[in-house]
Amino acid sequence: MFSVKKIIMKNIVILLFLTLLVPSPTLTAQGYTLSGGISTANDTPVEQVELVLINTATNEKQIQFTGADGVFYFLNVPAGNYTLQAEKTDAVRAGVSTVDLIRLGEHLLGLAPISDPLAWLGADVDQSGALSVFDIQLISRIILQMDHAFPQSPGWRFLRAGQQFTDPDDPFSTDLTGADKISFAVDADRSELNFTAVKLGDVNLSYKP
């Protein structure tokens, strides 16, 4: 014979069981994983790069940093349209030495032109769109510890990986407006959101962490 108490208990057990079958909204929140890597022109990973992910509809901002392997992840990113940018302001002196001054001097004197477009961008520490003795002066001040940052720019510059230069002998002729940013839609997991890092002042691409 069933008592009322037993029937209630049975219903509670059934109810609890049914609750387990219904997906919990917090556990199934729609979200995707975004990832990418940041490395220099010669594939050296760059750590502690700040990645700023902005939802273009809501302006909501998320920040993550690369690990020692140069890789970053954003987890549980809702579907939408986004822009991603990379920034780094520390390690200004990394990869910068008198060898870079000599290399830039050789280029300016026409003795040995710099061939890699990314090295041109690294040498242009005053961000003037040209290489000059003023860049040599600013790099000298960093080496001599007279300055602790380049006055016109952060110590690093980032471009979407795979940036092409129309004239490799004159990289400054390529319009790089917007090349520091990746714009994309998220409706699935995304990898390969990669950037190339340019260490300002590192003319011979010697940067190592």
- Contact positions toward Ca ion, by CB under 5 A? 95, 100, 202, 204, 206
Residue bearing tokens 């995304």:
190
Cα dihedral: 106, 133, 89, 52 (round 10): -90
Question: In the bound complex, what is the minimum distance in angstroms from residue 138's beta carbon to Ca ion?
Answer: 14
Residue closer to Ca ion by CB (options 56, 98) is 98
Query: In sequence order, which ranges of the chain are alpha helices (DSSP H)?
Result: 4-21, 98-108, 117-123, 133-143
DSSP letters of 129-153? SS--HHHHHHHHHHHTTS-SS-TTS
Question: In the bound complex, what is the minimum distance in angstroms from residue 118's beta carbon to Ca ion?
Answer: 12
Distances (CA, A) of 130 to 2, 123, 171: 91, 9, 9
Q: In 3D, which of 127, 121, 131, 96 has the Cα closest to residue 206?
A: 96
Residue closer to Ca ion by CB (options 71, 94) is 94
Question: In the bound complex, what is the minimum distance in angstroms from residue 202's beta carbon to Ca ion?
Answer: 4
CA atoms within 13 A on the CB side of 71: 7
Residue closer to Ca ion by CB (options 71, 102) is 102
Residue closer to Ca ion by CB (options 190, 199) is 199
Question: In the bound complex, what is the minimum distance in angstroms from residue 103's beta carbon to Ca ion?
Answer: 8
Residue closer to Ca ion by CB (options 34, 139) is 139
Question: In the bound complex, what is the minimum distance in angstroms from residue 207's beta carbon to Ca ion?
Answer: 7
